[in-house]
């Protein structure tokens, strides 16, 4: 092999350590990538692919970006899912030998700290998952989970147990939406069975070792045991947290000072929301365009700070089960709804508060710049105003005590920092005069020296009597005194000749050289001292970090309360009454999103809902487009809003806390990961039946729709019977369906009730009233909907004719089984209360115990029996 250049060798040595990253290698003013990295970078970033010689005979591909533009390019690669390592020059070039280089940072989607790359209104989580079980069969009975947000210092861990562990993990994934997940590589290789679309990074298995993890964490937090964090009995949670710490150490290359604590949490203290429910209820983004606008968050978010925006997102993703905490939140919101002037003043004040949380974290990791401190100063200076405004309000007293204006910090920054410091520390002007004697002295000396030099020309002209004497400057000789040859005889003794020109001579004096040194070195020296002073300032501010973070949290809370109060007043919401009973009574409820999206002129029709111990399952019938889905989702969303501490769109609402909200909204015909819609529907239904309790709220829309009518009807009915009769269940259920046959159910299941969405008929036209009324609908109006939807008139006419025929005579194209039953009245239909073999088989199914595949097989069997 030919001998490669030393630089190439240096590159190869670094690259070997980071085979999975695109390596940006600092060369002068550029960050260069080489070889395959260069090809990827050129392709993904539209860079010019050039070449660089690495030996006498060889060249390799190279593509680079200017050093000042690195962040933008890195951001684009991270977005595309690449990992990036940045290799810096760590010594100054000295003309001899190679500059030393080191990787100072690895950037992955979950470890980004650059504000340019992050969204400030959304958390950027890195999550670790440790499945405990058999990787070969992909079965896990336990799991350790940890997650971190390194720009805010949020760090939490938990342990999930039982057969539901895998499901709970998926629920946590959908709650946190991490941008990166790390997992033991064995599990990744064997197939991690996580939902698609997750950025998964495999990590050596040993990094998830509980013992090693515990040691790492205790060392990091400087504690003897992790019990104080509540992690005492969560070895797998600890292991996951340890893996995160390892990973961060590898990528961040600093002391991770922003991670000051870790919190153990339990998924049991929150309302359970599975991924489908979150999606179906459009909590933080819409199903179609995945935008915040059009989601619940979109309606409720009137926050003005980034911290508030992130907190509200967390609350919506994690409704509470704790009556006391919820009432405290509602008290705070209520107090703010009552004073419009106060709301306006607070909102105004909050507008001047920057992202204190991320600012403090930048301080802690040593990344804060002058402008960050400026933002800190401006934010803190608003805190006393906020304190004064909220102090008189008892419901906000918890916030008042947590708000700390950190006047010492404010004072320190104000004394140290100029009013308009430069963005980076390589320009003079960061530190305020008067702050440091040393800096003042240097500044004074420089000023004197400049003045001295400025005065030199007139001074020397006077002294020597040479009227044409000039003081000049050039790069080679520095400052000089120039005298034309005509006045040569008047040169004083202390002039030293430096240069001879055609008509003149140039001189220097020892004193001039002294002042010159002062002036020329001044800038460098001032920059150095300013940098030192700035670093010391940041260091000392770090001591206040926990107070700063406390204030940040209090402000985030205030911002969220304010947002909820503002929306409540603007949209006419009421304070819900929360109880531990399993009632649910809503008067004149509305869907908070749909009511805002209606075309101008159309008014949203409010509806009542009433569940009590005798009314548990509501069957909602009505034609398509009448508003069934909207109505049942409205009940779910109102409940969820109440459990984050928000007012709700209704005239009044009494809500028994819901431990699990399950919303299956039908009519989504997409195929999930190779499964048929029906299969997905059945898997979800199985999950809901096994996971729900008496305190759950089930919202089922057209369950059974994904299959043929008879199958669908059979399943729908079986599901309702099961919920009604199972002692663990009997939960509040809203079941929207277009199967009119189901309206018979209240006759046999006493705790079911029929409701329908009213329509008015006007000759052949129908008008949707969107009003939910007691009693079942008796017609489907599908043909009317076809007409409204713009089907050609002849088709609609023909359909109407056929419908009439069907309704009066039955149809020739009827399902063979139904036909057979009609022809043979002795054999009762599926929905008579007889012991038809299919019904018998159906009743004997232990739905809870079926795997999805078994469920499907059973269905085929049922279908066969029903056709007999």
Residues near ligand ADP (CB under 6 A): 594, 598, 604-605, 622, 624-630, 770
Q: How far, in Å, CA of 578 to CA of 657, rounded?
A: 7
**From the CB of 656, what's the least distance to ligand ADP, in Å?**
24
584 closest CA partner among 562, 564, 603, 611: 611
Q: How far, in Å, CA of 200 to CA of 193, rounded?
A: 11
- Number of residues assigned to the chain: 868
**From the CB of 287, what's the least distance to ligand ADP, in Å?**
13
**From the CB of 607, what's the least distance to ligand ADP, in Å?**
6
41 closest CA partner among 18, 58, 59, 65: 65
Q: Which is nearer to ligand ADP, 766 or 842 (CB)?
A: 766
**From the CB of 574, what's the least distance to ligand ADP, in Å?**
17
Q: Which is nearer to ligand ADP, 220 or 770 (CB)?
A: 770
Q: Which is nearer to ligand ADP, 110 or 622 (CB)?
A: 622
Tokens of 219: 């060392």
Q: Which is nearer to ligand ADP, 515 or 662 (CB)?
A: 662
Q: How far, in Å, CA of 766 to CA of 769, rounded?
A: 9
Q: Which is nearer to ligand ADP, 268 or 598 (CB)?
A: 598
Tokens of 739: 């199967």
Q: Which is nearer to ligand ADP, 671 or 789 (CB)?
A: 789
What torsion, rounded to 10 degrees, do the Cα atoms 582, 587, 592, 596 define?
170
**From the CB of 594, what's the least distance to ligand ADP, in Å?**
6
Q: Which is nearer to ligand ADP, 133 or 782 (CB)?
A: 782
Residue 759, beta-bridge partner list: 768
Q: Which is nearer to ligand ADP, 545 or 624 (CB)?
A: 624
Half-sphere exposure of 666 (CA within 13 A, CB side): 21
Q: Where do we find the tokens 């971190």?
A: 148
**From the CB of 586, what's the least distance to ligand ADP, in Å?**
13
Q: How far, in Å, CA of 559 to CA of 399, rounded?
A: 11
**From the CB of 414, what's the least distance to ligand ADP, in Å?**
55
Q: Is the backbone of residue 767 left (phi > 0), alpha (psi -120 to 50) or beta?
A: beta
Residue 199 has φ and ψ, to the nearest 5°, of -80, 105
Q: How far, in Å, CA of 455 to CA of 394, rounded?
A: 68
**From the CB of 741, what's the least distance to ligand ADP, in Å?**
17
Q: How far, in Å, CA of 681 to CA of 569, rounded?
A: 39
Q: Which is nearer to ligand ADP, 598 or 671 (CB)?
A: 598
**From the CB of 336, what's the least distance to ligand ADP, in Å?**
29
Residue 17 has φ and ψ, to the nearest 5°, of -75, -20
**From the CB of 743, what's the least distance to ligand ADP, in Å?**
15
**From the CB of 632, what's the least distance to ligand ADP, in Å?**
8
Q: Which is nearer to ligand ADP, 594 or 661 (CB)?
A: 594
Distances (CA, A) of 678 to 13, 665, 856, 859: 54, 13, 9, 11
Q: Which is nearer to ligand ADP, 299 or 594 (CB)?
A: 594
688 closest CA partner among 726, 643, 657: 726
Tokens of 510: 């020892």
Closest CB to ligand ADP: residue number: 627
357 closest CA partner among 154, 114, 155: 154
Q: Which is nearer to ligand ADP, 582 or 701 (CB)?
A: 701
Q: Three-class SS of residue 97?
A: coil
**From the CB of 176, what's the least distance to ligand ADP, in Å?**
30
Q: Which is nearer to ligand ADP, 628 or 821 (CB)?
A: 628
Q: Are 151 and 113 in contact (CB under 8 A)?
A: yes
**From the CB of 606, what's the least distance to ligand ADP, in Å?**
7
Q: Which is nearer to ligand ADP, 201 or 624 (CB)?
A: 624
Tokens of 636: 């779910």
Q: Which residues contact 56 (CB under 8 A, 6 or more apart)?
A: 2, 3
Q: Three-class SS of residue 340?
A: helix
386 closest CA partner among 373, 396, 371: 396
Beta strands 180-184 and 126-134: pairing type?
Answer: parallel
Q: Are 242 and 182 in contact (CB under 8 A)?
A: no
Q: How far, in Å, CA of 439 to CA of 429, rounded?
A: 11
Q: Are 688 and 735 in contact (CB under 8 A)?
A: no
Q: Which is nearer to ligand ADP, 534 or 604 (CB)?
A: 604
**From the CB of 638, what's the least distance to ligand ADP, in Å?**
13
**From the CB of 620, what's the least distance to ligand ADP, in Å?**
8
Beta strands 732-737 and 617-621: pairing type?
Answer: parallel
Distances (CA, A) of 271 to 631, 642, 662: 21, 12, 10
């Amino acid at each position: 092999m030919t001998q490669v250049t030393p630089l190439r060798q240096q590159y190869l040595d670094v690259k070997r350590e980071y085979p999975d990253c695109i390596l940006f290698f600092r060369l002068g003013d550029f960050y260069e990538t080489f070889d395959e990295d260069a090809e990827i970078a050129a392709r993904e970033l539209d860079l010019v692919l050039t070449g660089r010689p690495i030996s006498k005979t060889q060249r390799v591909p190279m593509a680079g970006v200017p050093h000042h533009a690195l962040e933008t390019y890195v951001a684009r690669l991270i977005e595309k899912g690449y990992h990036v390592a940045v290799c810096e020059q760590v010594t100054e070039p000295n003309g001899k030998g190679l500059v030393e280089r080191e990787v100072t940072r690895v950037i992955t989607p979950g470890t980004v700290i650059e504000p340019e790359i992050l969204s400030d209104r959304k958390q950027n989580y890195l999550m670790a998952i440790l499945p405990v079980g058999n990787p070969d069969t992909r079965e896990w009975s336990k799991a350790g989970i940890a997650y971190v947000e390194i720009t805010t210092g949020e760090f939490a861990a938990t342990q999930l147990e039982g057969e539901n562990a895998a499901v709970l993990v998926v629920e946590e994934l959908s709650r946190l939406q991490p941008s990166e997940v790390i997992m033991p590589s064995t599990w990744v290789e064997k197939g991690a069975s996580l939902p698609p679309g997750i950025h998964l990074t495999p990590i050596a298995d040993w990094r998830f070792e509980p013992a090693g993890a515990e040691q790492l964490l205790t060392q990091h937090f400087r504690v003897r045991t992790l019990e104080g964090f509540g992690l005492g009995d969560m070895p797998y949670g600890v292991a996951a947290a340890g893996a995160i710490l390892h990973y961060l150490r590898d990528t961040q290359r600093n002391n991770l000072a922003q991670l000051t604590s870790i919190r153990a949490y339990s998924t049991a203290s929150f309302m359970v929301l599975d991924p489908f429910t979150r999606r179906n209820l459009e909590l933080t983004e819409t199903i179609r365009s995945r935008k915040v606008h059009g989601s619940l968050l979109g309606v409720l978010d009137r926050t003005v700070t980034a911290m508030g925006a992130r907190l509200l997102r967390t609350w919506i993703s994690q409704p509470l089960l704790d009556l006391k905490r919820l009432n405290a939140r509602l008290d705070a919101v209520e107090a703010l709804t009552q004073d419009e002037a106060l709301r306006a003043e607070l909102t105004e004040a909050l507008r001047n508060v920057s992202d204190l949380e991320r600012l403090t974290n930048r301080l802690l990791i040593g990344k804060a710049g002058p402008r960050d401190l400026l933002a800190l100063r401006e934010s803190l200076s608003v805190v006393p105003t906020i304190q004064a405004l909220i102090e008189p309000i008892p419901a906000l007293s918890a916030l008042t005590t947590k708000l700390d204006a950190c006047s010492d910090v404010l004072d320190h920054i104000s004394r140290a920092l100029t009013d308009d410091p430069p963005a980076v520390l390589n320009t003079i002007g960061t530190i305020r005069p008067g702050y440091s004697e040393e800096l003042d002295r240097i500044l004074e000396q420089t000023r004197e020296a400049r003045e001295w030099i400025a005065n030199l020309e007139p001074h020397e002209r006077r002294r020597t009597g040479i009227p044409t004497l000039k003081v000049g400057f050039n790069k080679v000789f520095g400052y000089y005194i120039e005298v034309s040859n005509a006045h040569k005889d008047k040169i004083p003794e202390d002039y030293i000749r430096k240069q001879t020109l055609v008509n003149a001579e140039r001189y220097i004096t020892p004193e001039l050289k002294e002042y010159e040194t002062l002036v020329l070195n001044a800038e460098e020296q001032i920059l150095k001292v300013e940098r030192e002073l700035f670093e010391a300032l940041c260091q000392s501010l770090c001591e206040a970090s926990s107070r700063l973070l406390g204030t940040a949290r209090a402000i985030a809370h205030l911002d969220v309360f304010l947002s909820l109060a503002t929306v409540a007043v603007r949209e006419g919401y009421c304070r819900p009454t929360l109880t531990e009973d399993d009632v649910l009574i809503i008067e004149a409820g509305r869907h908070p999103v749909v009511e805002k999206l209606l075309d101008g002129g159309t008014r949203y029709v409010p509806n009542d809902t009433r569940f009590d111990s005798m009314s548990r399952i509501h069957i909602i019938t009505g034609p398509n487009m009448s508003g069934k889905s909207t109505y049942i989702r409205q009940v779910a969303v109102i409940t969820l809003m109440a459990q984050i501490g928000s007012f709700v769109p209704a005239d009044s609402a009494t809500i028994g806390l819901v431990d699990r909200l399950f919303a299956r909204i039908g009519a989504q015909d997409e195929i999930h990961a190779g499964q048929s819609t029906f299969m997905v529907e059945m898997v979800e239904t199985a999950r809901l039946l096994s996971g729900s309790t008496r305190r759950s709220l089930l919202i089922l829309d057209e369950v059974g729709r994904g299959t043929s009518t008879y199958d669908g009807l059979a399943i729908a009915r079986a599901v309702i019977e099961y919920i009604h009769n199972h002692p663990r269940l009997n939960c509040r259920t809203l079941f929207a369906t277009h199967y009119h046959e189901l309206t018979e159910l209240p006759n046999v299941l006493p705790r079911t009730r029929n409701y329908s969405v009213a329509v008015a008929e006007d000759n052949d036209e129908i008008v949707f009233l969107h009003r939910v009324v007691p009693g079942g609908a008796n017609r489907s109006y599908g043909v009317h909907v076809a007409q409204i939807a713009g089907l050609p008139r002849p088709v609609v006419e023909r359909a109407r004719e056929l419908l009439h025929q069907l309704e009066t005579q039955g149809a020739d194209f009827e399902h063979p089984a139904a036909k057979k039953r009609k022809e043979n009245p002795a054999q009762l239909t599926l929905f008579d209360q007889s012991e038809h073999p299919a019904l018998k088989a159906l009743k004997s199914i232990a739905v809870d115990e079926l795997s999805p595949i078994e469920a499907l097989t059973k269905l085929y069997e049922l279908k066969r029996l029903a056709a007999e």
